[in-house]
Amino acid sequence: MSATTATPARVISRKRVVSAPKRVLSTVLSTAAVGIFILSVFPVYWMVQTSFQPTSDIIGSRVQFWPENFTLRNYNTVLFDTTRSEFLPALGNSLMVTIIVVIVALIFAFLASLAVTRFRFKSRKGFILAILIVQMIPGEAMIVATYRLLDGWSLLNTIAGLSIVYIATVLPFTIWTLRGFVDGVPIDLEEAGMIDGLSRAGAFWKITFPLLAPGLVATGVFAFIQAWNEFLLALVVNSRPEMMTLPVWLRTFQIANGTTNWGGIMAGSTLMAIPVIIFFLIVQGRMSSGLVSGAVKG
C-alpha cells in the first residue's frame, strides 16, 4: 500500500522506475492470479482427465492426477453403447431446441426492445415491470401448469413444445439486456436514415440492427446457455427416451447403472460442456462489456 499512497514526486516517476515494494506487490498479485486460475479450472481438468481413465484406475486405491493408462473406452461407451438411452439423439434434440430458442428469442427480444426504447406508449412501464417480475417466478412452481398446457396442445415430447417454453423463459432476460444495447444506438442515426429515404422499419433493420451485433451476441449466448443447460422442464416435459435433451440423458446415464460409472459420466459431462465452452471462448470479451452496457443504460 505504501507504493500507492505516493508523494507527487514518486507519482511522476511511477511509470518508468519500478520500486521494490511495487515489484513485491506485483509478484503477490500474479501469484493470486495463478491461484484463481487453478481454482477455476481444476474441476474442468478433473472431469476431462477422469474421462480418459479406465474404470479400474478411477476406482483404484490410488488417485491419479494424470491418466496413466489413457483410454477412449468411456467415450466409446457414451457414444455407441445402445443398451441405454443414446447420446447422439439427445445431442440432436438439444441442438435443435437451442438453435430455435436462440433465433426466435433474439428476434422477439429485438422487436420488443425497440418498442421499449424507441417509443413512448401507454403501459410501457407496466411491460417493463412485468418483465422484471417474470424473472422471479420459480420455474419449478409452474411445471404442473406448463405440463398441462403442452398436453392440451399435444406438444409433450416434441421439440416445438420444449422450444416454446424455453423461449418464454429466456425472453424477459433477453429483452432486459438487449434494450440497454438498443438504447446505446443513437436515435439520430435512424432518423438520418429515414430522411435519406428509408422507411422506419428499414432504418431499424439497416442501421440499428448491424450496430447491435455485440449486444445480440451477448444476449444470444445467454439464451444458448439457458436452453442448453435447462434440466428440470426437459425432464418432466420431454421424458420419452428419444426426445430427451443432453442434461436429462446425463442423469439417466447416472442412474441406469447400479454402481456409478464415473468414467462414462465424466465423458458425457465433457461432451456436454464442450459446445458451451467453445462458444464462451469465442465471444468472451464482448459478453461482459455487453452486460455492463445493458446494466448501466438501465
Smallest distance from another protein to CB 83, Å? 21
The Cα–Cα gap between 88 and 239 comes to 16
Q: Which is nearer to another protein, 65 or 82 (CB)?
A: 65
Q: Which of 124, 236, 114, 216 is nearest to 174 (CA)?
A: 216
Are the C-beta atoms of 223 and 295 separated by less than 8 Å? no
Answer yes or no whether residue 250 interacts with another protein by CB under 8 A: yes
Q: Which of 174, 212, 206, 180 is nearest to 193 (CA)?
A: 206
The Cα–Cα gap between 20 and 27 comes to 11
Binds another protein (CB under 8 A): choice among 13, 37, 160, 210: 37
Smallest distance from another protein to CB 85, Å? 16
For residue 194, CA distances in Å to 113, 188, 277, 294 come to 20, 10, 41, 26
Smallest distance from another protein to CB 10, Å? 11
Binds another protein (CB under 8 A): choice among 67, 241, 247, 252: 247
Answer yes or no whether residue 118 interacts with another protein by CB under 8 A: yes
Answer yes or no whether residue 36 interacts with another protein by CB under 8 A: yes
What is the CB neighbour count within 10 angstroms for residue 238? 24
Are the C-beta atoms of 228 and 91 separated by less than 8 Å? no
Answer yes or no whether residue 66 interacts with another protein by CB under 8 A: no
Q: Which amino acid appears at position 27 of this protein?
A: T
Answer yes or no whether residue 125 interacts with another protein by CB under 8 A: yes
Smallest distance from another protein to CB 170, Å? 11
Q: Which is nearer to another protein, 47 or 96 (CB)?
A: 47
Q: Which is nearer to another protein, 243 or 266 (CB)?
A: 266
Answer yes or no whether residue 9 interacts with another protein by CB under 8 A: no
Answer yes or no whether residue 291 interacts with another protein by CB under 8 A: yes
**Three-state secondary-structure class, residue 123:** coil
Answer yes or no whether residue 178 interacts with another protein by CB under 8 A: no
Answer yes or no whether residue 213 interacts with another protein by CB under 8 A: no
Smallest distance from another protein to CB 233, Å? 11
The Cα–Cα gap between 285 and 298 comes to 21
Answer yes or no whether residue 18 interacts with another protein by CB under 8 A: no
Residues 146-165 that bind another protein (CB under 8 A): 146, 148-149, 164-165
Binds another protein (CB under 8 A): choice among 59, 88, 160, 256: 59
The Cα–Cα gap between 254 and 18 comes to 55
The Cα–Cα gap between 197 and 13 comes to 57
